[in-house]
Amino acid sequence: MKISHAARQAGLPVKTVRYYADIGLVKPAGRSMSGYREYDEAGLAKLGFVRRAREFGFSIEECRELLSLYEDRDRASSDVRTIASAHLAEIEEKQRQLAALRDELAYLVKTCQGNDRPDCPILDRLG
Amino acid sequence: MKISHAARQAGLPVKTVRYYADIGLVKPAGRSMSGYREYDEAGLAKLGFVRRAREFGFSIEECRELLSLYEDRDRASSDVRTIASAHLAEIEEKQRQLAALRDELAYLVKTCQGNDRPDCPILDRLG
DNA sequence: CCTAATCTTTCCAGCAGGGGGAAGGTCAAG
DNA sequence: CTTGACCTTCCCCCTGCTGGAAAGATTAGG
């Protein structure tokens, strides 16, 4: 299977699949005689796996770890859970920051009358 | 006032202040005879303004717009409100995505027993 | 006055996570 | 045989900085 087919099946741009090959995240099964990357079913599954993990916000390095656990039929589920829990904690921290930010900004937007007068609590708050 | 003093006062790294000067966001008032950047009180205020706006998650380009409004004593508060509202909408969209992500990931982590057996709903979900 | 430490400058390189596009090789259909 | 759709490598671009090297400026101490 050539790269565009694999990319389409996995739901990823061709550029991204090539990038994942370059950084050694998901390597093609081999190369054709003319140098084309060749993907098999296993590679396809890994590409899809990475796409979904990325959609979950896992970083490339986290994907690398998850992928090695995914391929290791003898791994313990606690290893996976550790990575996922850490990521979950990061997400929740980000949520807290975002919520605080939103509240403060929403207050400013609400307070600002948004008319043609120069008085503006938003700028007052920033300046 | 030389760059390290201005940076310290504004609460920014020197590198960042230099970067802001390079991209024309906050230019120094002038240069000393030996080529050192010189900042005055107005520049200091702008650096602090940008730092706070960045903490609010405004992009550099948004900061550029806010800064020009900040300097324009005749601007309408609605102009500022427009930028801030757009940014607020972005934040809220990000919050929704993050919440959905968190819920799904939290469910998986909760479901995963995290023992030494290979069964793992997290990997099942990704693979 | 000399020296060493601490500024400052410029430029170069790089991080994540790719995107865009050029220059050139390949392959199947008509 | 030609056309068009692939594929390859290559390098630059993005955001928002951060680090480092090399070289000049200033300042404190002896």
Please name the nucleotide lying closest to B2, CA to C1': C8
Note the ipTM here. 0.82
Each residue's pLDDT tens digit, A1-40: 999 999 999 999 999 999 999 999 999 999 999 999 999 9
B61 C-beta less than 7 Å away from strand D: yes
B14 C-beta less than 7 Å away from strand C: yes
DSSP A18-50: HHHHHTTSS--SEE-TTS-EE--HHHHHHHHHH
Q: Which chain B residues are within 8 Å of A53, Cβ to Cβ?
A: 126
Going B116 to B122 to B123 to B125, the CA torsion angle's sign is positive
For residue B68, the chain A residue with the least C-alpha distance is A123
**What one-character DSSP code corresponds to residue B30?**
E
Each residue's pLDDT tens digit, A43-72: 999 999 999 999 988 899 999 988 988 887
Q: Angle CA(A66)–CA(A69)–CA(A75) in degrees, nearest 5?
A: 145
- Which range of A77-86, B14-23, B90-99 scores highest in mean pLDDT? It is B14-23
Packing angle of the helix pair B60-71, B41-55 (nearest 10 deg): 140
A14 C-beta less than 7 Å away from strand D: yes
Q: Which chain B residues are within 8 Å of A113, Cβ to Cβ?
A: 77, 81
- CB contact (8 A) between residue A109 and residue B69: no
Nucleic strand D contact set for A 34-53 (CB, < 7 Å): 35-37
**What band does A101 get if pLDDT is binned at 50, 70 and 90?**
confident
A11 C-beta less than 7 Å away from strand C: no
Each residue's pLDDT tens digit, B33-64: 999 999 999 999 999 999 999 998 899 999 99
